[in-house]
Amino acid sequence: MWTANPISYRMALEANTLTWLADLTLGLHATFILFVVAGQCLILTGWALGWDWPRHRLFRWLHLLAIGFVVLETWFGVTCPLTSLESIFRNIGGVAEYENGFIRHWTQRLVFYSAPSWVFTLIYTVFAGFVGLSWFLYPPRRKL
């Protein structure tokens, strides 16, 4: 009579959990990027269309802090903590860092692209400059 090996079952369960955590981290990373990029697009759109909500102080501070964090990471050569965490989950789980799967594949392609590091530093710094400029030209308001 065949019985399942509880150790191999537990290892498979842990690997699946770690893969799930890695995918969740990748999703969080993509959401962060979307917040930074789409947030600036919405700020500029709000400015052009006269919307009040893109001037909300908390939203603008969070947006400014988010891009500021990214710029400081690149200036000091620090690997993104979300990238590191995802890799740790995949490595401990014994899973290749970037496996197949439609959503995972395309999310990774959008989040992780290849270019020399100075290109990313330049892009992030210029983008942060636009965020800072829009902060002063279309400033947040205390009360809406």
* Kind and range of the H or E run holding 63: helix 57-75
Tokens 């065949």 belong to 2
Q: State pTM to two decimals.
A: 0.78
The 10s digit of each residue's pLDDT in 79-118 is 889 988 988 888 888 776 555 444 555 666 766 677 778 8
- At 95, give phi and psi (nearest 5°): -110, 145
CA 130 from chain center: how many Å?
19
C-beta separation of 86 from 111 below 8 A? no
pLDDT value of position 2: 46
Q: Which residue has the higher pLDDT, 133 or 17?
A: 133
The 10s digit of each residue's pLDDT in 6-48 is 455 455 558 788 889 998 998 999 899 999 999 999 999 999 9
* Kind and range of the H or E run holding 120: helix 117-137
The residue extents of the domains of the chain are 9-137
